[in-house]
């Protein structure tokens, strides 16, 4: 039987399904597959970049996605995403991705069987201009961005992540044939703002556990991703809970990435579980789920998921927005009220029994509405799309392929090509150094450019001592491993790794620098990215010796900007992002009583970018 093909475009991966938006994405994909669609998936690697910017290795599981979808593509985002704006709002297309436009041109040329595209988030909607006529275009909104900024007023927080004006958001949504809202209030808003019909599609979650009988509360739980809405809400709740906690009250167990953003000191009544490998283990360890949300848009998946795992949920009105609520326990005014309510019912079986009854009804009604909405949505897409010819499934991704091991000084550089190369990430004595940044040679014709596979390099302690060798990274465009930014140590293995990536093609390059030595004071005169001048910017800096030896970490004691033009020999090259460079004198803390001669370059690692200051032309005065 012929199946219609639909391309899903998302700025987040489906796997690991560790955040609400990923769960929503997976639920939508499952719905479409159940309704007979074949799915291609294009991951626009926004979230990978964000992880790296905050010094974390992105946990994206490309291998799982390759297995899951008919075809999987990865679109690397070259330009750094502006996480904040100091204007009153982001422009609608500030987060659009040029590489995605090229990808879609290539994809639709070579995939005539595809009849529809589902773009996740309105901030990627500009790409729909690159979709040929006749293809059904859909935007899944996930959230409402028009009023997001105002939510930060609750805590006077610094607004970040995407927000725009209502007018711009509506203009973005009107680019699509079909608009999906995640809950009814947002559907009504988008209908009003766009003047168009909008479908509501709450995510359908399968029942994981049935509700049990009422029990005395020993533990209540909260699981969440590390976003601002979770942080603000659970912080307020936890502060209050800790103050009112006494031994007869249940422990609050917090799980998920959110734990990394919370204070790690022990507090009464609170236990941080961190990242949990199996969600069911977390749900089995608590009797009730709290949803004390005081900010956030969209639909709170944590509420639906808690119910799907058979746990009663107590929360704020905001947390339950979009759910067919009837109980006062589902429309409490704020985090403090949620804490007070749980304290009141923790040892009240009748109240718990009543709450469980309400939750059973709520979840049943929600699930029914979600199922009906799913059928309506699928019908609406099918009504617009022609049924395509049958297409074969792609075979599952192969295991990591170790292609090359090169002796490099006292280490080996191990090169692998795989969606994730997970075995190397966890191998003893092996450390990640870099991932290849794809070079889009022929971006609108060669679909192979968007392969989910990426070449990665690791350092492994090796017995071989070579006097000279070329790094396999030489001349390649790379993304440095986030761990290197904090590698100011004397870890020789990693310092060989830094040495190896000094031969790669940097994201910014400055030549004509001079290293001056007066006594023990070293001063580097160079063109320097002005964005790195501010205090508190995370960066690491390494001197690369002329001799074949590991990199040497150095620290900047003081930065002074210079009046006047750079030296005649200065050349600046920027391949990634807009990082203005200006003449500066950096006073360095010399790592040891070394001579200031004999260095050929400085490697600067910051915000996920590799910078190189080349001193080979002119070095010491």
Partner 1 sequence: MTDAETTVDPGEGRIAALAAARLHWEALFLNERLIEFPSTPRPNVSIVIVSRGARHLLATTLANLSRYLPTAEEAFEVILVDNASDAETRRLFPKLTNVTLILNEKNVGFGPACDQGAVIARANRILFLNPDVDLMPGAIKALVDGFSLFDRVGIVGARLVFPGGFLQEAGAGFVDDAQVTHPYLRGMQDASAPEALFAREVGYVSGAVMMVDRELYTTLGGFDRDFDPAYFEDTDLCIRAQRLGWSVVYQPRAVAIHYENATSPDRATAAALIDRHRGVFLDKHRKWLFDSGAHPAGFMAREMNRFRLRVLYVDDRTPHLDLGSGLPRANSIVNAMASLGYQVTLFPAYESDDEPADRYRDLHPTVEILKPQGGTKLILDLCRERAGYYDVLWVSRPHNIAMVCHAMLAGGRSPRDLAQRIVFDTEAVFAARDGVEAVARGRGLTAEALQGGLKKELRFAALADKVVCVSPSEERLLRAAELLNVVVLGHSVEPRPGTNSFADRSGVLFVGSLKHEGSPNVDSIDWLLNHTWPKVRRAFGEDVRLVLAGDIAETARDRFENAGATVMGRLDRLDRVFNEVRVAVAPTRFAGGVPHKVHEAVSHGLPMVVTPILKRQVNWEEGEGLLSAPWQDPDAFASTVTSLLRNKALWNTTRERGLARIAADHSAHTFARAIRNICEAETVA
Residues within the interface to partner 1 (CB under 8 A):
53-55, 80-89, 91, 147, 149-159, 527, 530-534, 537-538, 560-566, 568, 572, 577-583, 606-607
CB of 91 to partner 1, least distance (A): 6
Q: Which is nearer to partner 1, 172 or 221 (CB)?
A: 172
Name all contacts of 240-246 with Cβ < 8 Å and 24+ positions apart.
240/335, 240/336, 240/339, 241/269, 241/270, 241/339, 241/342, 242/267, 242/268, 242/269, 242/270, 244/339, 244/340, 244/343, 245/269, 245/270
The strand pairing partners of 613, in sequence order, are: 510, 602
Q: What is the DSSP code (8-state) at residue 568? A: T
Provide φ and ψ at 528, rounded to 5°. Answer: -130, 135
Q: Which is nearer to partner 1, 306 or 608 (CB)?
A: 608
- CA 606 – CA 594 distance, rounded (Å): 25
Q: Who's near 15: CB < 8 A, 6+ residues apart? A: 22, 60, 61, 64, 65, 68
CB of 190 to partner 1, least distance (A): 19
- CA 443 – CA 446 distance, rounded (Å): 6
Q: Which is nearer to partner 1, 494 or 606 (CB)?
A: 606
Provide φ and ψ at 489, rounded to 5°. Answer: -90, -170
The strand pairing partners of 116, in sequence order, are: 6, 136
CB of 332 to partner 1, least distance (A): 18
Q: Which residues of 465-491 are buried (b: 16+ CB within 10 A; e: fewer)?
A: eeeeeebbbeebbbbbbbebbebbeee
Q: Which residue has 């970490």 as its token pair?
A: 553
CB 115 within 8 A of CB 4: yes
Q: Which is nearer to partner 1, 1 or 534 (CB)?
A: 534
- CA 255 – CA 224 distance, rounded (Å): 7
CB 102 within 8 A of CB 449: no
Q: Which is nearer to partner 1, 77 or 473 (CB)?
A: 77
CB 138 within 8 A of CB 196: no
CB of 102 to partner 1, least distance (A): 21
Tokens encoding 504: 């790669």
- CA 231 – CA 210 distance, rounded (Å): 29
Q: Which is nearer to partner 1, 447 or 562 (CB)?
A: 562
CB of 573 to partner 1, least distance (A): 11
CB of 42 to partner 1, least distance (A): 25
- CA 67 – CA 71 distance, rounded (Å): 9
Q: Which is nearer to partner 1, 202 or 608 (CB)?
A: 608
Q: Which is nearer to partner 1, 82 or 364 (CB)?
A: 82
Q: What is the DSSP code (8-state) at residue 221? A: E
CB of 334 to partner 1, least distance (A): 12
Q: Which is nearer to partner 1, 467 or 535 (CB)?
A: 535
Q: Who's near 265: CB < 8 A, 6+ residues apart? A: none
Q: Which is nearer to partner 1, 278 or 568 (CB)?
A: 568
Torsion of CA 217, 223, 227, 233, to 10 degrees: -10
SS3 content of the chain, % helix, strand, coil (to 5): 30, 25, 45
CB of 77 to partner 1, least distance (A): 13
- CA 570 – CA 611 distance, rounded (Å): 15
Q: Which is nearer to partner 1, 206 or 568 (CB)?
A: 568
Q: Which is nearer to partner 1, 152 or 425 (CB)?
A: 152
CB of 527 to partner 1, least distance (A): 7
Q: Which is nearer to partner 1, 36 or 333 (CB)?
A: 333
CB of 512 to partner 1, least distance (A): 11
Q: Who's near 542: CB < 8 A, 6+ residues apart? A: 495, 498, 502, 551, 552, 553, 554, 602, 603, 605
- CA 583 – CA 116 distance, rounded (Å): 51
Q: Which residues of 396-425 are buried (b: 16+ CB within 10 A; e: fewer)?
A: ebeebeeeebbebbbbbbbbbbbbbbeebb
CB of 393 to partner 1, least distance (A): 40
CB of 352 to partner 1, least distance (A): 33
Provide the greatest CA pair distance for the chain: 83
Q: Which is nearer to partner 1, 273 or 617 (CB)?
A: 617
Helix axes 335-345, 349-384, angle to 10 degrees: 130
CB of 160 to partner 1, least distance (A): 9
Q: Which is nearer to partner 1, 193 or 388 (CB)?
A: 193
CB of 481 to partner 1, least distance (A): 15
CB of 122 to partner 1, least distance (A): 17
Provide φ and ψ at 445, rounded to 5°. Answer: -120, -35
Other beta carbons within 10 angstroms of residue 266's beta carbon come to 9
């Amino acid at each position: 039987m012929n199946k219609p093909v639909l391309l899903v475009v998302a700025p987040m991966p489906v796997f690991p399904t560790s955040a609400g938006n990923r769960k929503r994405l997976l639920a939508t994909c499952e719905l479409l597959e159940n309704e007979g669609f074949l799915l291609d998936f294009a991951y626009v690697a926004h979230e990978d970049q964000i992880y790296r910017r905050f010094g974390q290795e992105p946990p994206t599981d490309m291998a799982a996605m390759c297995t899951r979808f008919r075809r999987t593509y990865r679109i690397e985002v070259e330009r750094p995403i502006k996480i904040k704006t100091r204007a009153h709002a982001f422009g609608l297309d500030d987060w659009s991705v040029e590489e995605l436009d090229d990808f879609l041109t290539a994809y639709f040329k070579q995939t005539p069987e595809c009849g529809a595209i589902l773009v996740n988030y309105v901030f990627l909607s500009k790409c729909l201009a690159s979709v040929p006529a006749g293809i059904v275009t859909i935007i899944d909104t996930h959230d409402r961005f028009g009023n997001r900024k105002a939510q930060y007023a609750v805590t006077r927080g610094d607004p970040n992540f995407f927000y725009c004006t209502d007018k711009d958001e509506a203009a973005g949504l009107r680019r699509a044939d079909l608009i999906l809202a995640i809950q009814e209030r947002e559907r009504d808003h988008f209908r009003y703002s766009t003047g168009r019909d909008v479908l509501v599609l709450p995510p359908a979650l399968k029942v994981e556990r049935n509700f049990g009988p009422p029990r005395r509360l020993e533990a209540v739980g909260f699981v969440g991703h590390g976003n601002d809405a979770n942080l603000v809400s659970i912080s307020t709740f936890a502060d209050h809970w800790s103050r009112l906690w006494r031994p007869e009250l249940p422990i609050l167990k917090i799980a998920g990435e959110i734990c990394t953003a919370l204070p790690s000191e022990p507090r009464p009544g609170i236990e941080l579980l961190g990242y949990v490998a199996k969600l069911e283990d977390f749900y089995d360890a608590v009797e009730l789920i709290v949803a004390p949300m005081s900010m956030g848009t969209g639909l709170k998946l944590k509420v639906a998921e808690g119910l799907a795992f058979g746990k009663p949920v107590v929360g704020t009105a905001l947390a339950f927005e979009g759910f067919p609520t009837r109980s006062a326990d589902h429309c409490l005014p704020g985090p403090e009220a949620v804490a007070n309510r749980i304290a009141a019912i923790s040892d009240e079986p009748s109240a718990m029994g009543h709450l469980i009854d309400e939750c059973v009804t709520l979840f049943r009604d929600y699930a029914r509405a979600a199922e009906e909405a799913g059928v309506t949505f699928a019908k609406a897409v099918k009504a617009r799309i022609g049924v395509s010819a049958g297409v074969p499934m792609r075979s599952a991704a192969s295991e990591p392929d170790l292609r090359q091991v090169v002796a490099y000084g006292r280490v080996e550089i191990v090169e692998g090509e795989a969606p994730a190369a997970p075995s190397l990430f966890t191998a003893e004595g092996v450390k990640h150094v870099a991932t290849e940044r794809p070079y889009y040679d022929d971006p609108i014709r060669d679909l192979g450019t968007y392969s989910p596979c990426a070449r990665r390099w690791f350092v492994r302690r090796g017995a071989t001592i070579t006097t000279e060798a070329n790094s396999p990274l030489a001349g390649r465009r790379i993304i440095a491993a986030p761990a290197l930014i904090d590698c100011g140590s004397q870890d020789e293995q990693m310092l060989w790794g830094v040495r190896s990536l000094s031969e790669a093609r940097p994201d910014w390059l400055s030549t004509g620098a001079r290293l001056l030595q007066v006594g023990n004071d070293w001063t580097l005169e160079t063109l320097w990215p002005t964005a790195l001048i501010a205090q508190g910017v995370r960066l690491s800096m390494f001197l690369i010796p002329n001799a074949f030896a590991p990199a040497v970490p150095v620290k900047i004691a003081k930065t002074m900007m210079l009046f006047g033009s750079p030296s005649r020999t200065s050349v600046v090259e920027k391949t990634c992002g807009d990082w203005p460079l200006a003449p500066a004198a950096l006073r360095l803390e010399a790592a040891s009583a070394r001579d200031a001669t004999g260095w050929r370059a400085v490697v600067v690692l910051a915000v996920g970018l590799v910078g190189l200051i080349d001193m080979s032309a002119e070095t010491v005065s």
